[in-house]
Amino acid sequence: MIINLLKEKPVRVTKTEKIRRLNRMVLILAGVIFGILVLILLVQYGYYSSQSSSSKRRVKVLESEYLSRSIEVAKYKRMKSLYGYVGDVFQTRYPYTEMIESVYKLLPSGVVVTSVSFSEKGSMTFAAKMMGVMKYENFLEKVDKFNSDIGSLFGNVVQKLLSRSSSGEYRFELVLETKK
């Protein structure tokens, strides 16, 4: 009986120790995790709180400066809007002067412009009068030459009318279509 007891005791004690060690480990681990959680929370809380309060202080300072410059702010905002509007105005301009000027420059002396009108599609109807058909031919030659130049405004020139009055005055009407 004694022998049996002596044999059983170390086994039971070792087992008990293991359980105790396990209990301690569970408790320590739980404590460590808990501690880490609390620490993370505290550190984060401290960090963000200080950051938030310093940012809020800075916001107040900057806001008062911004409000004190309200006239400049209004001016700046108006300027930004105006840039957009002026840009739009520039972009939507129809090249009237370029179109009239480019044809006017080609007119031989003695040819008088009688009418000019424009269509929304980008064509210009141009009428003129002159004495003698030679001037008209001379003008057409110049238009042809001008059209073959790179960068010219017009792509297509269509003759609509050529008439001669009893006084010997010639009138012509051309439709000049801008390049697409």
Pairwise CA distance, residues 98 & 41, whole Å: 73
DSSP 66-123: HHHTHHHHHHHHHHHHHHHHHHHHHHT---HHHHHHHHHTTPPTT-EEEEEEE-TTSE
Binding site for another protein (CB under 8 A): 8, 12-13, 16, 19-20, 23-24, 26-27, 30-31, 33-34, 37-38, 41, 44-45, 48-49, 51-52, 55-56, 58-59, 62-63, 65-67, 69-70, 72-83, 85-87, 89-90, 92-94, 96-97, 100-101, 104, 112-118
Pairwise CA distance, residues 140 & 145, whole Å: 9
Q: Which single residue is written with the structure tokens 């960068």?
A: 151
Residue with smaller CB distance to another protein, 40 or 162: 40
In the complex, the smallest distance separating the C-beta of residue 32 from another protein, rounded to whole angstroms, is 10
In the complex, the smallest distance separating the C-beta of residue 119 from another protein, rounded to whole angstroms, is 11
In the complex, the smallest distance separating the C-beta of residue 100 from another protein, rounded to whole angstroms, is 6
Pairwise CA distance, residues 173 & 159, whole Å: 6
| CA-based nearest residue to 143, from 114, 106, 110, 100 | 106
In the complex, the smallest distance separating the C-beta of residue 82 from another protein, rounded to whole angstroms, is 5
Residue with smaller CB distance to another protein, 84 or 148: 84
**What's the Rg (C-alpha) of the chain?**
47
Classify residue 143 as exposed, middle or buried by CB count within 10 Å of its CB (0-12, 13-18, 19+). buried
Residue with smaller CB distance to another protein, 16 or 156: 16
Residue with smaller CB distance to another protein, 75 or 145: 75
In the complex, the smallest distance separating the C-beta of residue 149 from another protein, rounded to whole angstroms, is 20
Residue with smaller CB distance to another protein, 71 or 150: 71
In the complex, the smallest distance separating the C-beta of residue 144 from another protein, rounded to whole angstroms, is 22
Residue with smaller CB distance to another protein, 103 or 150: 103
CB atoms within 10 A of CB 76: 11
